[in-house]
A and B are shown apart, each in its own frame.
Chain A
Amino acid sequence: AQSVTQPDARVTVSEGASLQLRCKYSYSATPYLFWYVQYPRQGLQMLLKYYSGDPVVQGVNGFEAEFSKSDSSFHLRKASVHWSDSAVYFCAVSGTGGYKVVFGSGTRLLVSP
């Protein structure tokens, strides 16, 4: 069965600094990988997804993530964070077809001024 580990429950960075949120997945076959974000009082929104091809995928608002099969990781990055990026970020994995997406427990990002 697939699983996702987000080792950092909370991350605090200064506005303008770079960001990396870590994600490790476990899946026996080729995974579909996702990052979702949840702003206060809103539903989860997909930031980006990886199905195949170039291991670096671009998402919305300047986010990108890199798939590493050897490391079973799918870390999220952003070059320069803004205060509005403060939210909870979820990494997720599914098998081919995308049904039954399994989420990590999330990382709460706080961007300080």
Chain B
Amino acid sequence: DTTVKQNPRYKLARVGKPVNLICSQTMNHDTMYWYQKKPNQAPKLLLFYYDKILNREADTFEKFQSSRPNNSFCSLYIGSAGLEYSAMYLCASSRGGSDYTFGSGTRLLVI
């Protein structure tokens, strides 16, 4: 099985409420990534885990949290959703930083 699974496929959230997105992979990849994709824009890297080490991008450092309780799972957490968080969130995994495998994404709508 060479897939990355993301749940849920669609998520509706209220402004000010927390959001938790889930990603899993069964390829024993050491690295897992979260990207944010808005219409007509490039996917933007938010953070990635190399093994148990979390690396967050400087410009989104305070907006997103993540956890990786084991090799297979990685979550993306938004503490207080704002309208600007509405986007597609893409999870990917890789072994050693090459050949990413992407999930189908979770489309988040914040109202």
**Chain A residues close to B by CB (< 8 Å):** 4, 9, 32, 36, 41-46, 49, 90, 94, 97-106
Residues on B with beta carbons closer than 8 Å to the beta carbon of A45: 102
Residues on A with beta carbons closer than 8 Å to the beta carbon of B45: 100-102
B16 at the interface (CB under 8 A from A): no
Quick one: which of A43, A99, A104 contacts B103, CB cutoff 8 A?
A: A43
Contact A99 B102 (CB under 8 A): no
Residues on A with beta carbons closer than 8 Å to the beta carbon of B103: 43
User: In angstroms, how far is the closest chain B Cβ from the Cβ of A101?
Assistant: 7
Quick one: which of B40, B43, B90, B94 contacts A98, CB cutoff 8 A?
A: B94
User: In angstroms, how far is the closest chain B Cβ from the Cβ of A58?
Assistant: 16
User: In angstroms, how far is the closest chain A Cβ from the Cβ of B87?
Assistant: 14
Quick one: which of A46, A102, A106 contacts B100, CB cutoff 8 A?
A: A46
How many residues of B sit at the interface, in one of the four size bands? 20 to 34
- Known contacts: A41-B104, A105-B41. The answer to whether A97 contacts B90 by CB under 8 A is no
Question: Contacts A43-B4, A43-B103 given; 8 further ones with Cβ under 8 A?
Answer: A43-B92, A44-B102, A90-B42, A97-B96, A97-B97, A98-B94, A103-B35, A106-B42
Within the assembled complex, what's the spacing in Å between the Cα atoms of A98 and B98? 5
Contact B104 A98 (CB under 8 A): no
**Chain B residues close to A by CB (< 8 Å):** 4, 31, 35, 40-43, 45, 48, 50, 90, 92, 94, 96-105
Within the assembled complex, what's the spacing in Å between the Cα atoms of A52 and B103? 28
User: In angstroms, how far is the closest chain B Cβ from the Cβ of A109?
Assistant: 15
Residues on B with beta carbons closer than 8 Å to the beta carbon of A49: 98-99
Within the assembled complex, what's the spacing in Å between the Cα atoms of A106 and B35? 15
Within the assembled complex, what's the spacing in Å between the Cα atoms of A103 and B41? 9
- Known contacts: A99-B48, A100-B48. The answer to whether A44 contacts B42 by CB under 8 A is no
Within the assembled complex, what's the spacing in Å between the Cα atoms of A32 and B103? 22
Quick one: which of B42, B90, B97, B98 contacts A43, CB cutoff 8 A?
A: B90
Most central of B90, B92, B97, B103 by chain A CB within 10 Å: B97
Within the assembled complex, what's the spacing in Å between the Cα atoms of A67 and B99? 18
User: In angstroms, how far is the closest chain A Cβ from the Cβ of B26?
Assistant: 15
